[in-house]
Amino acid sequence: MRTNPNARKLRFAFAYILLLLVIGCTSNDNSGYETVVIEDGKNYFGKKINDHKAVGLQEFDVLANNTDTLFIKLKAGISEVCLEDGCWFRINLYNGKRMIVMFENDAFVIPTDVAGRHMVIEGKTYLQTRSEDEMKKFAIQAGEIQWVIDTIQGPHIQRTFIAKSAVIME
């Protein structure tokens, strides 16, 4: 039994259009950022985590002083956020220094108005040397005034935290 060539073409065209629709509906272009889950009045970034077994800043200071690299769950307050798009934030450490927190693979951004709130983050922290240009860029993104930006000179060794999961607690 032979089928009509036009019917075959029509079935092929239908299958092709269906395939395009399926691909178009499943691709989710949100500029490389994963979706944030909002549950119980909290914003979760990455896998859902809580503050169980999270260390505070005082304990973190002791642990971080004994190693360059550390995998940890930390509960801390957000001191400042990148005002451009929320791609990083800073935490004031117990020793008076600040730590920059970024998301693994730049997967998330946080709201730019969450300075002063507490967050639990889970991931890897390490010491990193940042150039003068990088430090000035962070200062500009944080909304620092020009004379503060002008005082940044030379490279800085800074603790960096790469978070794979986070939750804004309050």
**Which parts of 27-145 fold into alpha helices (H)?**
57-65, 132-141
- The phi, psi pair for 141, rounded to 5°, reads -65, -25
- Whole-number pLDDT of residue 79: 94
CATH topology of domain 34-168: OB fold (Dihydrolipoamide Acetyltransferase, E2P) (2.40.50)
Judge contact between 100 and 93, C-beta under 8 A: no
Residue for token digits 């935290």? Answer: 161
pTM: 0.75
- Whole-number pLDDT of residue 4: 63
Q: Name the percent of the chain in helix, strand, coil, to the closest 5.
A: 30, 30, 40
Tell me the pLDDT of the chain (170 aa) as tens digits: 555 666 555 555 444 444 333 333 333 333 444 557 777 778 888 888 989 999 999 999 999 988 889 999 999 999 999 998 899 999 999 888 899 999 999 888 899 999 999 999 999 999 999 999 999 999 999 999 999 999 999 999 999 999 999 999 86
| DSSP H helix total and E strand total for the chain | 4, 8
For residues 83 and 87, give the distance between their C-alpha atoms in angstroms, rounded to a whole number.
Answer: 9
> Please, which residues have CB within 8 angstroms of residue 135's CB and are 6 or more apart in sequence?
152, 155, 156, 158
DSSP 19-51: HHHHHHHH---STTPPPPEEETTEEEESS---S
